[in-house]
Structure 1
Amino acid sequence: MTNPHLTLLRERLSALNALELDIQDDSHLHAGHAGNKGGASHFSATIVAQCFDNKPMVAQHRLVYDLVRDLIPHPIHALALSTRAPSKGNT
């Protein structure tokens, strides 16, 4: 069964034209947490995108959060990010 929140995140983040986009549903790690009412709401994303080149991490995260701002805190309660430009390798 496809998670509609995960699908929505993928659709929104596709605007980054990422070379790598890996989104994980971490909701099971937050069972019993107030922000986990109703199921999937905690996610983590690893994103490698050219648009992050020469931008500090805070600016990279702002680019991502600007795309999903209206989804937080509902239906997405939390989104943890790991971002980098392709020129930065695997650091």
Structure 2
Amino acid sequence: MLVKDAIISKLNAAFSPHHLEVIDESEHHRGHGGWREGGETHFRVIIGAQSLEGKNRVEQHRAINDCLAEELIEQVHALVIKVQK
């Protein structure tokens, strides 16, 4: 399974978002730390989910990072998170 697909699947299961975009930005980081051939190292997540509302930004990011812990340890070098209402 592609890392992007795993991220989408896990975020959908954990948060039932009404909006979700997962963008692989790896190519923008070619030659930088953490980049590797084939990409799937740098991602941007834009998510809107009722379950994240009422939490401050740190709590939102912790919840998402906890959900994606396996990917962050093993495969993803950088994750940008934007939570929408």
Paired letter, 1:23: V
* TM-score calculated relative to the size of structure 1: 0.83
CA RMSD, Structure 1 to Structure 2 (Å): 1.4
Post-superposition Cα deviations, 1:34-65, rounded to whole Å, max 9, x if no partner, equal 30123221000100000112111111111101
Paired letter, 1:17: S
Paired letter, 2:4: L
The answer for unaligned runs of 5 or more in structure 1 is 87-91
What residue is the counterpart of 2:5 in the other structure?
7
What residue is the counterpart of 1:31 in the other structure?
30
What residue is the counterpart of 2:58 in the other structure?
58
Post-superposition, which runs of at least 4 consecutive aligned residues in structure 1 deviate over 6 A?
none
Structure with greater Cα Rg: 1
The answer for unaligned runs of 5 or more in structure 2 is none
* TM-score calculated relative to the size of structure 2: 0.88
Distance in 2 separating the partners of 1:18 and 1:50: 7
What residue is the counterpart of 1:89 in the other structure?
none
Q: Tell me the secondary structure at the aligned position of residue 63 of structure 1.
A: helix
- Map 1:40-79 onto structure 2 (within 5 A): 40-79=40-79
Paired letter, 2:30: A
Q: Tell me the secondary structure at the aligned position of residue 80 of structure 1.
A: strand
